A and B are shown apart, each in its own frame.
Chain A
Amino acid sequence: MANIGVLIETSDNEVKKANFGVISAARGEGGNEIFGLVLSSDAAPCKEAAQEYGVQKVVGVSAEGADIGSSPDLQASALADATEHLGIDVLFGLSSAQGKDLLARVAAILNAPLVMDCVGVNLTENTVTKFHFAGKTYASIKVTGNRWVCGIRPNAIEARPAPCEAEVISHQSAVQDPGRMKIREIKKGDSEQVDLTEAEIIISGGNPMASAENFKILYDCAEVLGAAVGASRSAVDAGFAPHAIQVGQTGKTVSPKLYIACGISGAIQHFAGMKTSKTIVGINKDAEAPIFNKCDYGVVGDLFEVVPALTEVLKRG
């Protein structure tokens, strides 16, 4: 039996939905003790959601005499301390903006192997699968060592409920903040949307969007779909969309349930970032566009007509 930790991310005190797939992966074949680590002195608000997916111990990790949220150094040291204290063998988390930062810090402190952005886990053999070269090749990685860290790509592993009754405990760490970095300010982006990597549905616009204003038709459709909006590099470089929403080998790598590409030709770098999506739709006015050779559904038409029509149909339910 192994002790498995899951770093649980919250947003406004609620467990982010993307965590459930991670917890499901962490359960493996079963028989392991699952610890859900929450960066807060009080983990109780997370109990209900966490136990639904099989977390047996919900641990509030905090730092003695300091606000754990004040510095990533402090968060990482406290997490590393909790990992050692609880005898956690494998620490899982999301390969999200926060997870990529924190898990890497913890792995570096513990000098433990780390595999980020995994889409499959085998805890019996200590192997994980992920992509190399964005979505161009699959890689199977063998991990050796008594303690390791693993980041799971959001939405990559299906959430499977496994209800149990969890115990809420707390771990107050005596670690000190070395005081060498401070978060001075959080600059909110223009868009209120979730991080692309965590979105279940993405609708993206390419070069023919022609302006930032035109992206509104995508945001309108996204609102009805519950989707996030993405963009190709051409659209980003032309200033129609911020880099934060660029999809591709030099942008975000995403695996949503549904990816709708509007006016996107299907360049290799764009596909590298989204080809692992479960279902891909291409909307393109050129029937010969390369995208139609590598997606599930193709719509030949002008995106400025098709997208609003799609929004209408979806609104009707």
Chain B
Amino acid sequence: MHLFKNTDKCQALFKNVHTNPADILCKKSLKTFSSFIKLESFKLATDCRVIIEKSYKLENKPKKDVDMQIYVCVKHVPDTAVNIKVTGKDSFDESVDFVINPYDEYAIEQAVQIREKEGGEVIIVTVGKEAALKTVRSALAVGGDRGIFVKTDAHFLDSTLVSQAIKKVIEDDGTPDMIFTGKQSVDAEGMQVHYRLAAGFDMPIASDVAAFSMSDGKVTVEREVGGGTREVIEMSLPCVVAATKGLNEPRYANIPSIMKAKKKKVAQFDIADMGLDSGSDGAELNELRPFPDKGKAKMIEGTPAEMAEELVKLLKDEAKAL
């Protein structure tokens, strides 16, 4: 009887098993096991039995019976209603309200709707400071099944590092059928973690997605490209989908769902312990400066016709805007 817990060990063992048929006890999910076999193009010897711990299902099931794993990347950001007070060279007053990044709400909702229809699980992944755990719970309260939280000690991180951290925890956790994100965060507005994830996993990606459907193992999305125009894109699974407003109507959490979310499992890691190396290349925040509002307006008075006349004159002569 062979036992394996992770794919590395499995690989070593499997080479052996391949030539010496034996039973295998798999500590990972059946899904991980089947996709591993597929990935490595191993064939099971006919008299080899695979025993999945707990479920004790024999042999590798065809993929369609395997539960979907949908990962949703969710960022903890300051509420859009708050003013940002710059406090140091590159920091701001973080005592303000923080929320789920608004675009990520559409991502969560889409993932939850897919699970409700197709089964499977929705796993929330958040990289952020200690306080971001609250956002993981908020995401669990609107339908996430469990969470993965990577703790960091800075609010602004290099996007390459963030995507590496997300990739690592997803890889160690399971086999993604889909990864959902928002099209951008509303704080740093890096607009790239989803693209880096897609490249890292070698998956197709569509961003700014405002409509989504799925059939026959393919997804069809509508991507907003400006001026109201949309590209209809078909992608194979697994894939990355980055949501924008209009994709769906995110649900609200209610008291029972918030209570339930408190009991859901959240695996926690510290980014410092993950052995990531994003190299020396990167983009780092150097300085944050307030960007003040314009002051009081120059008021224009008179009848509508007079005001229009005066405004055009000012825009031409004074502001040079026309």
Q: Give residues in A with beta carbon < 8 Å to B.
A: 73, 96-98, 100-101, 104-105, 107-109, 111-117, 127, 130-146, 148, 151, 178, 180-198, 201, 225, 242-246, 249-251, 253, 257-258, 268-269, 271-272, 275-276, 278-282, 291-302, 305-306, 309-310, 312-314
Query: Bound complex: CA of A271 vs CA of B84, how far in Å?
Result: 13
**Measured between alpha carbons, how far is A282 from B102 in the docked complex, in Å?**
27
The answer to whether A195 and B231 touch (CB under 8 A), given A135-B291, A279-B315, A281-B315, is: no
Binds A, one of B12-20, B38-46, B66-74, B194-202: B194-202
> Are B295 and A294 touching (Cβ within 8 A)?
yes
A182: chain B residues within 8 A (beta carbon):
233-234
Assess the B298–A310 pair: CB atoms within 8 A.
no
Docked-complex contact A244 and B232, CB < 8 angstroms? no
Tell me the nearest residue of chain B to A306, going by C-beta: B304
- Whether the pair A113, B204 counts as a contact (CB closer than 8 A) is no
CB-based contact A131/B315 at 8 Å:
no
Contact in complex: A111, B287 (CB < 8 Å): no
CB distance from B41 to the nearest CB of A (A): 18
Q: Of B235, B283, B284, which is within 8 A of A180 by CB?
A: B235
Question: Which of B47-55, B124-132, B136-144, B220-228 lies at the interface?
Answer: B220-228
11 contacts across the A-B interface (CB closer than 8 A): A108-B199, A113-B282, A144-B283, A184-B233, A185-B232, A189-B227, A278-B321, A294-B297, A296-B294, A296-B319, A306-B304
Chain B 220-253 per-residue mask, 1 if CB under 8 angstroms from chain A, else 0: 1010111111111111100100001110000000
Q: Which of B164-209 contact A (CB under 8 A)?
A: 186-192, 195-196, 198-200, 203-208
Given A115-B283, A310-B308, A314-B312: A108 touches B196 (CB 8 Å cut-off): yes
Q: Is the CB of B290 within 8 A of A145?
A: no
Cβ of A184 and Cβ of B220 under 8 Å apart? yes
B293 contacts which chain A residues (CB < 8 A)? Answer: 271, 275, 293-294
B residues less than 8 Å from A135 (CB atoms): 291
- Other than the given A109-B199, A258-B315, A299-B299, 15 more pairs (CB < 8 A) read A100-B191, A113-B281, A133-B186, A181-B234, A182-B233, A184-B233, A195-B225, A244-B224, A250-B80, A275-B293, A279-B315, A280-B294, A292-B297, A293-B293, A297-B299
Interface pair B188/A132, CB less than 8 Å apart: yes
Within the complex, what minimum Cβ distance (angstroms) separates B82 from chain A?
Answer: 8
**A96–B208 Cα gap in the complex (Å)?**
12
The 4 A-B residue pairs with the shortest CB-CB distance, nearest first, are A189-B228, A195-B226, A145-B281, A298-B297
Contacting pair A140 B235 (CB below 8 A) = no
Q: Are A116 and B287 closer than 8 Å at their CB atoms?
A: no
**Chain B residues engaging chain A, CB cutoff 8 angstroms:** 78, 80-84, 86, 92, 102-103, 158-160, 186-192, 195-196, 198-200, 203-208, 210, 220, 222, 224-236, 239, 244-246, 279-291, 293-301, 304-305, 307-309, 311-312, 314-315, 319, 321-322
Measured CB to CB, the nearest residue on chain A to B314 is: A297
| Interface residue SS majority, chain B | mixed
A272 to B189: give the CA distance in the assembly, Å: 13
Cβ A249 vs Cβ B309 within 8 A:
no
* A197 partner residues in chain B, CB cutoff 8 A: 226
Hey, which chain A residues are within 8 Å of B296, CB to CB?
A: 292-293
Determine chain A's interface SS by DSSP, over half rule. mixed
Q: What residues of A have a CB within 8 angstroms of the CB of B235 in the complex?
A: 180-181
Q: Which listed residue (A130, A196, A268, A278) contacts B189, Cβ 8 A?
A: A130
Does the CB pair B186–A310 fall under 8 Å?
Answer: no
- Distance of A279 Cα from B314 Cα, bound (Å): 11
The verdict on A251 contacting B245 (CB below 8 Å), with A104-B191, A132-B188 known, is: yes
Chain B residue, CB-CB nearest to A250: B102
A108 touches B284 (CB 8 A): no
**Closest partner residue, chain B, to A142 (CB atom):** B286
Closest to A117 in B: B189
Q: Are B304 and A243 touching (Cβ within 8 A)?
A: no
**Whole-angstrom distance from the CB of B239 to the nearest CB of chain A?**
8
Q: Is the CB of B84 within 8 A of A141?
A: no
The reply to whether B92 and A137 form a contact with Cβ atoms under 8 Å apart is: yes
Contact of B321 among A243, A279, A298, A306 (CB under 8 A): A279
Among A117, A181, A194, A297, contact of B298 (Cβ-Cβ < 8 Å): A297
